[in-house]
Amino acid sequence: MTRRPDRAVLLFDFDGTLSAIVDDPACAVPRPGVVERLTSLVGRYRQVAVISGRPVDFLASRLPAGVVLSGLYGLESSDGEGTVLTDATAGRWVAKVAAAVAAARHAVGADPLLDGVEIEDKRLSMTIHHRRSPGAEGAVQSLASRLSDEHELWLRPARMSFELHPPVTVDKGTAVHALTSAVEEVESVLFAGDDVGDLAAFASVGELGERGLRTVRVAVVSAETDPRVVDASDLSIDEDEVMTLLDALLAEDRRPEEEVSGG
């Protein structure tokens, strides 16, 4: 991707990209070998960051120190040293989200059509998962849509789930801009993701490319991948090839010095 890893920013989604998708969202962990490779990439590259729909605390418990974290689609951020910052506008929506979480739990308990549906409370946002009950998708979509109307939250579809967010214009795309503009002398940016929530990040990386940066948008493909993700990417890899991608990025850093200085 670049001959100057020290001027390159690496951005990764978490679920479905650095971690395999699992039935219980609470049990998602990095794929074997990811933590070791990220640890090696941190410090060699200008910045290594994860942009995810998960809370920063969740990501921090699973990823090595030094990886910069952007959680809840950009509503939370961390500098990689343990400080968590919350989007000031979104903070006002905590009570609304809590009310929506309570209403969702009540609905799931009361409606047999929603059997097995899980509510993930992320404080500033929430996710309704139907991975364990794929037949409930229609009922879940109706529930999410109703909660979105009643609690004035924005609805975003994701893999086998629906997310409800505060109505603030923060997403993975604004997170890409925030992260890359916070570091100096960036010449190239890579983003890898697997889901429709990553499309905003792909678009922002595309804008950086139009401004002259070298960019690569990687689609991590599985049987569930929405074709729009592949269409928006420069490169598609199978989900089993994520480790190969990380190894290739590590190999970039080990090129001989004369090749690096060759521009």
- Report the interface residues with Mg ion, using CB under 5 A: 13, 15-16, 194-195
**Nearest distance in Å: CB 214, Mg ion:** 24
**Nearest distance in Å: CB 13, Mg ion:** 4
**Nearest distance in Å: CB 17, Mg ion:** 5
Closer residue to Mg ion, CB minimum distance, 46 or 130: 130
One-letter amino acid of 210: E
| Token pair for 107 | 């609905």
Pure H helices in the chain = 34-41, 56-60, 88-91, 94-110, 137-151, 172-181, 199-210, 227-231, 242-252, 257-261
Residue nearest to Mg ion (CB): 16
**Nearest distance in Å: CB 52, Mg ion:** 7
**Which of 208, 201, 210, 211 lies closest to 233, judged by CA?**
201
Quickly tell me which residue has 């979480």 as its tokens: 101
Closer residue to Mg ion, CB minimum distance, 25 or 64: 25
The answer to whether the beta carbons of residues 23 and 160 sit under 8 Å apart is no
Closer residue to Mg ion, CB minimum distance, 12 or 93: 12
Closer residue to Mg ion, CB minimum distance, 163 or 252: 163
Q: What H or E segment, with its residue span, contains residue 126? A: strand 126-129
**Nearest distance in Å: CB 73, Mg ion:** 11
Closer residue to Mg ion, CB minimum distance, 13 or 171: 13
Q: At what angle do helices 137-151 and 94-110 cross, to 10 degrees?
A: 140
